[in-house]
Structure 1
């Protein structure tokens, strides 16, 4: 009797999910690692006073829905000043913007929504503009993580959408992302953001958050790359323990991501415990690189460790990318890839 052929490992490239508007709406909540995020659980770097100041401002923003100010370490006894309907967190990656955005969401009574810029634009694509306005109308708070300026059409679509929601009484909180051809760090993102949403600029208070990437405070800044033999051994051991592990060629995954809308990346990784990638290499096509960034964002949000061989994953972006207008995106992704491959997944971003 011939021996049974070994069963092929499940692959990400075999997953081509669909997603409905209702499914997108159901996912408009903070990622799992921020399920219990609060202002008190935020761990500021005391070398950067703006981090404590950001907690104060967001706590005051949340206080608009409360009969009294919240108690705790960051509370203040004076009454909050009148608030603008929008607040914009401007800062580098890894300073805790997403944690603070999630803390604000948790401190706010519903109805409320929390999602990335990509998720909101995907919702419009799935439901249509009018139905999206109807779905989100009545929300007390809309949180937008990683506000994008990559596509002028999407940016102006979101401008129009937010304008209608703010006019109806909804408040908005957003975190920054790097626009194309950004000339520098920090306030450049905020200035370009406010320029793009001209009609709404007066409604947003900019809160600057300075600091270093917390993911690199306590870990080495290098993603771990293992040999093919070690990767195979680790995958086998994890499967023996009952983990669901996917095994994909890096290049095949990059090609597959081009066939799936980024809003569906979260469904590609649904139910997976560990992702294994073989033969990682240096990317030279920016479109491929940006898709990988969007994918890694979802993997990081889902807290799925990555095992890889070939080029260390934090080194797959070429020098031109790292010096261009999207460099802050790539730097954030590098930081997350270090965390994902080293097992260092801290509790806030």
Structure 2
């Protein structure tokens, strides 16, 4: 069954004044959102799911016991199809999912960033194995515990970059769908392109088939990138790295975060944690030392660049032979950001072409300085992030 929807125009009259389509239209009328036909079509599909969930028995029950209300088979048979909102950065996917989550009449629901969900999955699997070393397969009891807490799971920024996650997801989602869980997800990557070009992708293909079987992919193909507009007209490289620059970085972070609440996050890179001290709404923020004056490598920087469309860095210093290892890491970081078209906002001791002027390695740094200059151009800022 094909699951990519080419949606007709949204109906003139919504099925209910309580649904996400009506909520979207109210925001357009009051001026808090600009009218966007692609967003309205996606809101109309979310409205259909809203109506289906109003009549879905599992949506109105309190926390289920181990056997559930009607058993696995009846829940799975009645479960509405989920929605996978796919589109480039800044098209309004998270905003639409949040509208849906706010109004959907489901008692047991959870809205969570996908990376945070996977961190919780790994922690719970570890705890279960530690509590019962003889447990042969922890996936069914984990799925039971998740489904007991949430019948509706809304994942923001669904993306798979880690082979460990890839190996878990297929069986976990099969078990969740079997228990009647409905999933809504936003992603910059269409299902058929998940984990593309990575070792082990063949073993990941059954999970892609599960998504296509159990969810409708709705392409949010708006011509306008609302998030990239947040950098239009703004300087992205601030010299010197003083209190005034810090205020400008604060303002850039807030605009790029789009009102999301900042907090720490943890990425998983080759099975180990990589701490991100501050992130929100697709933008992360680091002090330069936290990124380049510690033993991080290309894999860490690639994971960071794949996860976040924008990065804010405080206090880039002058570099030279005395801190060559730091300079080398910065080169690798900039290469990763550039290749993924991450938007960089930074404060620094000087212009890019004067960060590393003299000594061994200065010549090689010229390429990095050139990239940093290009990354400030509007042409670069208008490029989509390559997740």
TM-score by length of 2: 0.49
Matches within 5 A, 1:229-244: 230-232=241-243
Distance in 2 of aligned mates of 1:165 and 1:257: 23
Task: Specify whether residues 106 and 224 from structure 1 end up closer, same or farther in structure 2 by C-alpha distance, changes over 3 A only.
Answer: same
Matches within 5 A, 1:122-271: 122-128=119-125, 129-130=138-139, 132-138=142-148, 139-178=150-189, 179-181=194-196, 196-211=207-222, 212-217=224-229, 219-220=231-232, 224-228=236-240, 230-232=241-243, 261-262=273-274, 265=276, 268-269=277-278
Three-state SS of the structure 1 residue aligned to 2:142 is helix
Three-state SS of the structure 2 residue aligned to 1:197 is helix
Partner of 2:93: 97
How many pairs does the alignment contain?
Answer: 239
Give the RMSD, CA atoms, in angstroms. Answer: 4.7
- Indicate conservation of the 8 Å contact 2:161/2:303, yes or no: no
Partner of 1:118: 115
Distance in 1 of aligned mates of 2:44 and 2:156: 19
Distance in 2 of aligned mates of 1:59 and 1:339: 41
Shift of 1:219: 3.9
Shift of 1:176: 1.9
Partner of 2:364: none
| Bigger radius of gyration | 2
> What stretches of structure 1 of length at least 5 have no aligned partner?
1-37, 68-81, 183-192, 239-255, 324-329, 342-349
Three-state SS of the structure 2 residue aligned to 1:206 is strand
Q: State the Cα deviation string for residues 93-141 of structure 1 (Å, max 9, x = none).
A: 1101111222222223231122223222211211114453233113221
- Indicate conservation of the 8 Å contact 1:224/1:308, yes or no: no
> Residue 288 in 1 paired to residue 288 in 2?
no
> What stretches of structure 2 of length at least 5 have no aligned partner?
1-22, 56-77, 126-137, 198-203, 250-266, 319-329, 349-387
- Indicate conservation of the 8 Å contact 1:51/1:209, yes or no: yes
Three-state SS of the structure 1 residue aligned to 2:118 is helix
- Indicate conservation of the 8 Å contact 2:158/2:186, yes or no: yes
With a CA cutoff of 8 Å and minimum separation of 6, indicate the structure with the bigger relative contact order.
1
Distance in 2 of aligned mates of 1:235 and 1:269: 15
> Residue 52 in 1 paired to residue 40 in 2?
yes
Three-state SS of the structure 2 residue aligned to 1:142 is strand
TM-score by length of 1: 0.53
